[in-house]
Amino acid sequence: MVTTVGNRILAASGTTVFVTNTRLAIEHGSVNLGQGFPDEGGPVSMMNFLADYTHQQSNQYPPMMGLPELCQAVARHAERFYDLKLDWSGEVMVTSGATEALASSLIGLLNPGDEAILIEPLYDAYLPLVRLTGATPVSIRLNPPDWSLDLDALKRAISPRTRVIVVNNPMNPTGKVFSRDELVAIAELAIANDIVVIADEVYEHLVFDDLEHIPMMTLPGMRERCVRIGSSGKIFSLTGWKVGFISAAPALLKTISRAHQFLVFTTPPNLQAAVAYGLDNEVEWYTSLAHRLQAQRDYLSDSLESLGFVVLPSRATYFLTVDIRAVSDDNDVSFCRTLTIDGGVTGVPVSAFYIGDAPDHLLRLCFCKDMSVLEDAVGRLRRWRTVAA
């Protein structure tokens, strides 16, 4: 008989909440507002470009660091939006989604015995990836409902062994946009303690209410010690394409690329080329996406409030969170199940974004869905609330 326990760190992480809850939604025929993927597809011109490229150009291994045309487009994008000047041939690397960018960054930068600071609630991949490197995760928590950063807690978390801080801004699952003051404070601590900041900025274009996205890399002193991660999945609503990018100073990027070369080596060239095309030619599409999403956020948020839910402010991303205490005595995991089975709508319990003991009164719901899907969800919730009353 074969032994199948496998890697103990991964065994302890189990299956991600996104997979289990999508399964749950399918099983019960509920509206899936759990896993974060948009209903709308990306720009049609990118699909056409992809098809043409696939037929007419090379489908063999592209360069390990990425197709030059995509590295160049990523550099142009950074300059266009943030006045951030990057050398495309030494400071940009294409990855297989932001997930691989995170994995390569953490594996490339951390050694056993190092510490990595993570900010809870945290995107689910961070913790197992840090643990797999042999480094120790050290977490601090933002405080709901406004998700403010406790700077003293961050200072206390830093030790001589801290090598990395991961900052997800805009933040999944909270929809928080870090203020400039918060980002500057993190940057100052990073500089003072010789720490690298891994800035997961996949939702950079999905910011609402006229707020501004401030890349960590543009702050004073951060050009040399920030790893900036982006994802075409979020920029173009093409989450299945899995084309991501890292921008970092040459020495950092070289270190990270040592991991990338053994994890994936490359990303499909046709997808890279189509993303390069989109970054330059579909600017209007992706800069207006936030406007469309904001309307969906407003609809879902207002409808939930009218049904008695307490909705926490969401200023960015695909997600909003509700405080379920106003409508249930259950914890978030059990409420999520009940809402799926009895209410016909599936979310994600926010406790899944914590290490260990967690707040258990928050549920994350996606609003990056067609209006008809959101209306269906709201209709189901209204009926469920009426029956419950």
Q: Shortest distance, CB of residue 345 to ligand PMP, whole angstroms?
A: 21
Say whether residue 177 binds ligand PMP (CB under 6 A): no
Q: Cβ distance 279 to 285 under 8 Å?
A: no
Q: Which residues contact 324 (CB under 8 A, 6 or more apart)?
A: 309, 330, 332, 335, 361, 362, 363
DSSP tally for the chain: helices H, then strands E: 14, 13
Q: Shortest distance, CB of residue 120 to ligand PMP, whole angstroms?
A: 13
Say whether residue 200 binds ligand PMP (CB under 6 A): yes
Question: Where on the chain is the footprint of ligand GLN (CB under 6 A)?
Answer: 16, 18, 35-36, 172
Q: Shortest distance, CB of residue 16 to ligand GLN, whole angstroms?
A: 6
Number of residues counted as binding ligand PMP (CB under 6 A): 14
Q: Shortest distance, CB of residue 201 to ligand PMP, whole angstroms?
A: 9
Closest to ligand PMP by CB, 233 vs 347, is 233
Edge-to-edge strand ranges of the sheet holding 348-349: 310-311, 319-323, 362-366, 348-349
Q: Cβ distance 361 to 324 under 8 Å?
A: yes
Pairing of strands 31-32, 348-349: unpaired
Closest to ligand GLN by CB, 18 vs 82, is 18
Residue nearest to ligand PMP (CB): 97
Neighbours of 279 (CB within 10 A): 25
Restricting to residues 31-50, which ones interact with ligand PMP according to CB under 6 A?
A: 36
Q: Shortest distance, CB of residue 124 to ligand PMP, whole angstroms?
A: 9
Closest to ligand PMP by CB, 200 vs 323, is 200
The C-alpha atoms of residue 161 and residue 152 are separated, in whole angstroms, by: 18
Say whether residue 122 binds ligand PMP (CB under 6 A): no
- Choose from ligand GLN, ligand PMP, none: what does 16 bind? Cβ within 5-8 Å by kind: ligand GLN
Distance of alpha carbon 109 from the chain centroid: 20
Q: Shortest distance, CB of residue 198 to ligand PMP, whole angstroms?
A: 10
Closest to ligand GLN by CB, 95 vs 172, is 172
- Choose from ligand PMP, ligand GLN, none: what does 20 bind? Cβ within 5-8 Å by kind: none
Near ligand PMP by CB under 6 A: residue from 168, 169, 294, 321: 168
Residue 229 backbone dihedrals phi, psi, to 5 degrees: -115, 130
Q: Give, in degrees to the nearest 5, the angle at Cα 344 between 341 and 346.
A: 85
Residue 30 backbone dihedrals phi, psi, to 5 degrees: -95, 165
Closest to ligand PMP by CB, 215 vs 344, is 215
Q: Shortest distance, CB of residue 124 to ligand GLN, whole angstroms?
A: 7
Q: Which amino acid type is present at position 125?
A: A
Q: Please name which of 359, 364, 326 lies closest in space to residue 345, comparing C-alpha atoms.
A: 364
Restricting to residues 70-109, which ones interact with ligand PMP according to CB under 6 A?
A: 97-99
Near ligand PMP by CB under 6 A: residue from 43, 215, 244, 349: 244
Say whether residue 21 binds ligand PMP (CB under 6 A): no
- Choose from ligand PMP, ligand GLN, none: what does 18 bind? Cβ within 5-8 Å by kind: ligand GLN
DSSP string, 252-279: HHHHHHHHHHHHTS---HHHHHHHHHHH
Say whether residue 162 binds ligand PMP (CB under 6 A): no
- Choose from ligand GLN, ligand PMP, none: what does 244 bind? Cβ within 5-8 Å by kind: ligand PMP
The C-alpha atoms of residue 222 and residue 216 are separated, in whole angstroms, by: 7
DSSP state of 245: E
Say whether residue 239 binds ligand PMP (CB under 6 A): yes
Q: Summarize the chain as % helix, strand, coil (round to 5).
A: 45, 15, 40
Closest to ligand PMP by CB, 232 vs 301, is 232
Say whether residue 274 binds ligand PMP (CB under 6 A): no
Kindly tell me the burial class for residue 7, based on how many C-beta atoms sit within 10 Å of its own C-beta (0-12, 13-18, 19 or more): exposed
Site residues for ligand PMP per CB under 6 A? 36, 97-99, 123, 168, 172, 200, 202, 231, 233, 239, 242, 244
